[in-house]
Amino acid sequence: MDMDYKKVYEEWLTNPFFDEATRQELAAIKDDEREIKERFYMDLEFGTAGLRGIIGAGTNRMNNYIVAKATQGLANYIKQRKKQAKGVAIAYDSRHCSPEFADVAALCLAANGIKAYVFESLRPTPELSYAVRELKCVAGINITASHNPPEYNGYKVYWEDGAQVTSPKDVMIIDEVKAIKDYNVVKTMDKIEAVKAGLYNVIGSDLDDRYIAALKKQIINADVIKEMGDDLVAVYTP
């Protein structure tokens, strides 16, 4: 694909399908051969359970178009299994573009007739696993890049058991994503319309409360907490 990257770059630069901000970002690197190649020499790899990459315009970057394409592939896989009625839960973290990517994924699912349940704000990963099972969803999406540096974001897929997708499902989903050669086949819809149609649903405190109640059931020795709680020291890192 070595010289093809220039063709793909030109396509993104000139095609009105891509938004103005994307085309401006790419116009700014027109004289930087190395940067053009780095952004377009490959498609961002949909690896084990999902995507991870630097945020920016290009096929080898994390952006709305790549997130939408991945979601269309996931939607195609769900529809083939005739499980679209079950819906998909979506969580996200505090990284750059996380809420935006969550919405892009939700509106792609909605346009495919798959109900999206989106958390109202950032949530911990275990709560997504809980939501998938509690809401009886077919899948979950988590917008996060775990331990990567701040310029990264990512997209992880979970299945109906609340765990990240494993073999052979991961490969089948990857194949569906790779099969999309034209961004025009990637569906989306207006958010207001999706809400009206019951395909975009916000989840929040009601599910949080159920999650905390479920966590409390896991406490092994409540008496120790009562006795020693005031002396416990917690270290928190985001």
Catalytic residues: 146
Residue 27 makes CB contacts below 8 A (sequence gap 6+) with 13
Q: Which two tokens stand for residue 134?
A: 């509690």
Pairing of the two strands 50-54 and 88-92: unpaired
Give me the residues paired with residue 201 across strands.
117
The secondary element (H helix, E strand) that includes residue 200 is strand 200-203
Are the C-beta atoms of residues 110 and 192 closer than 8 Å to each other?
no
The secondary element (H helix, E strand) that includes residue 158 is strand 152-159
The secondary element (H helix, E strand) that includes residue 202 is strand 200-203
- Strand locations in 45-144 (E): 50-54, 88-92, 116-119, 139-143
- Rounded to whole angstroms, the Cα distance separating 101 from 124 reads 17
| DSSP string across 109-133 | HHHTT--EEEESS---HHHHHHHHH
